[in-house]
Homo-oligomer: A and B are copies of this chain.
């Protein structure tokens, strides 16, 4: 057959009306059991596949939830999206995923594209957007959820945490070890807003303690990869050899830094301490394990999914925009504190 069979073809073959075929495929509708079985059999024989594009148009509902993440290739965002998809699946909502490559201009164009697909909700990573993007989102008649951040001026709902605030606990940990010469790797670019939020938080924490805050090494444009962390560590060791501990924008950079230390015979944590961010798998496998901050990626996804479901399908959707604060957790590893043996 040239064109795929439609309900009409099935109806013809089963000798019923199109409407009956439609009902036969919908649970809870009144069709004689025998007829329903017949219709499904006929449909299967014909190779009929339900056409959701038609249904979407008629019902004015697509079942799509648009999601924009900075990068596909990042275990943290993957965990969030995984939990999000899982949480939406039960309510027949499907993630329409796009990635911005850490560029809010790209994000804006993705938003414009995605909205044409008529998603029922849209999930963003981060709280910083172009004015154009804000405008599009404010006019879109769908729930907007910003994640992975606590924006000062949210567009709609929020499920996230303050990247800046996480650094307080980290610096607290390091200073409680009696350390005062602290460095930071990563987060310089105007692009990586979450990374520079962390750096800002780091600097604020140092300032609050009256500690020097000049040991900063760029990790280059995001995504900051392992190899960049290694290069940055080499820079740090050369420029500021007296550094006692370095906080990295992510565990990937931190592992790169650790590897550079290994290559140079610099002992971690004896000679220098290293901390990361994100609680990536590698943090608990590498030697020593990395001190890091667990931002509860999956929890963000779960809570976002639950929020969306309650808004779209729930009987009591929230009247005002919701902000759900996630509490990241400091996880101490061998890269800052030598385990007792």
Contacts and interface: CB of A to CB of B under 8 A. Distances in A.
Taken together, the copies of this chain in the complex come to 2
A98 B57 CA distance: 23
Contacts of A286: 255, 259
20 contacts: A4-B141, A49-B139, A52-B116, A53-B57, A53-B62, A53-B117, A54-B57, A72-B82, A73-B75, A78-B78, A85-B99, A94-B113, A226-B285, A227-B284, A230-B285, A252-B281, A259-B286, A259-B287, A263-B287, A282-B282
A58 to B, nearest CB: 9
Instruction: Identify the 8 closest CB pairs spanning chains A and B, nearest first.
Output: A73-B78, A226-B285, A47-B139, A262-B287, A72-B78, A52-B116, A53-B56, A53-B57
A276 interface: no
Given A262-B287, A263-B287, A281 B51 contact: no
A116 B285 contact: no
Contacts of A141: 3-4
Nearest to A89: B113
Interface size class of A (residues with CB under 8 A): 35 or more
Given A85-B99, A227-B285, A259-B285, 4 more contacts: A49-B116, A227-B281, A230-B285, A263-B287
Contacts of A57: 53-54, 57
A105 to B, nearest CB: 15
Contacts of A78: 72-73, 78
A294 interface: no
Contacts of A225: 281
A65 to B, nearest CB: 13
A79 interface: yes
A141 B96 CA distance: 23
Contact of A72 (B81, B98, B281, B285): B81
Contacts of A115: 49
A294 to B, nearest CB: 16
A97 interface: yes
Contact of A97 (B51, B97, B140, B263): B97
